[in-house]
Amino acid sequence: MKAIGLIASSNGLGHLRRIINLAIGFQDLGYRTEILAQSIQISRIQSELKSLNRSLNFTPIEIYGIEGPAWFKSGCNLSQPPKKIIDKIDKLDFIVSDNSLWALRYCKKVYLFGHFNWIDYWTLGGFSNFSPTVKKVFEEELNLFEKIRISFQFDIFSLNSNRLSNVNVKKINLMRYDSDFHMPISTNRQPIIWKAVGTTGLNSNRDFKFLEKSKLKIIEKETYKLTFSKYKPTLVIGRPGLGTIRDCLAAGVPFFPIWDKADVELNSNVKHLHMLGLLPFKDAECSTYNFEDAINLAYAGQLDKFWTEIWLKISESTYTICEQMVALINKN
């Protein structure tokens, strides 16, 4: 049985959730999978893992390469992989890495997965305020692009790379998770707003004071908790990370983005929401000015069906996506 390594980026829980579902898809195709992720990510996902009723193997890792803004905020700490991690990677038939490039130092058969990579993220953001040590690693990872065979990128929400040719990039649909079957049905909607700030700890720059004027009850709750929820909220607001957007699409719950517009990935995600026609408000910037519009449209039930219809057009089962990936990898 072939063995696949799946590496989750450390910047938020959504990266690990999609890697876990990818592992399930590969398992259904007959592969043995090993998920490499940070211990804190693994601990946060335990309740969802129980609901999946799957036997999944996890290897705790540290941060070995360039990561995202949560990593930057915490001091850009980097470690060298211990020998046991390098040895484990060496024994795998191939690796699928979410956003991160570091595994390419130790394995030739590494395939990128997601809608962007961290080198492009920092470059597009025009940011270069790294310490000399981190700058050196950044430059090393720039050179790793030459080793990338395929980057599987979500067709919708891709943050296009200037370094990857069309030959290297293979577009795929967003993934439907097994847990989506446990989302609440559309008729069970409650006049409640969920505020989803994400698990990165980067919500300090967002001003939520305008929510005090809302007539609807507001509770802080992340969208992965839609699984096994007894009801659907009228609206979800907050950080427009792709994991949050994906969950709202899968559940047919309208989402209203609130962010500080300083993040190139989040800006790109919101741009794609506009392109899909999922933010039909007066103000194209989705400011607090049209927050009432969002509430009124969502409360009247005028958005739910549209979000569901778009989701069915731009998503596919994880099993089918894994089939497509394996077919291309075997040709490579």
* pLDDT tens-digit readout, 14-65: 899 999 999 999 999 999 999 999 998 898 888 778 777 888 999 999 999 9
What confidence tens digit (pLDDT) does each residue in 195-248 have? 998 877 666 556 677 777 677 888 999 999 998 899 999 999 989 999 999 999
Token pair 């392109």: residue: 275
pLDDT tens digits, one per residue of 305-329: 889 999 999 999 999 999 999 999 9
Q: By percentage, how much of the chain surpasses pLDDT 90?
A: 59
Phi, psi of 133 (to 5 degrees): -65, -45
Q: Which DSSP symbol is given to 52?
A: H
pLDDT at residue 288, rounded to an integer: 56
- Which is higher by pLDDT, 279 or 122? 122
Question: H-type helices in the chain, by residue range?
Answer: 13-28, 39-44, 46-52, 69-73, 83-90, 118-124, 132-143, 242-251, 264-275, 291-299, 304-314, 318-331
Using left for φ > 0, alpha for ψ between -120 and 50, and beta otherwise, residue 75 falls in left
What's the rounded Cα separation, in Å, for the pair 234 and 230?
Answer: 13
Query: Element (H or E) spanning 207, and its range?
Result: none
Where in the chain are all domains bearing CATH 3.40.50.2000? 3-178+316-331, 183-314
CATH code of the region 3-178+316-331: 3.40.50.2000
Max mean pLDDT among 261-265, 277-281, 283-287 falls in 261-265
Q: What is the pLDDT of residue 49?
A: 82
Which of the 8 DSSP states describes residue 29? T
What is the assigned CATH class of domain 183-314?
alpha beta
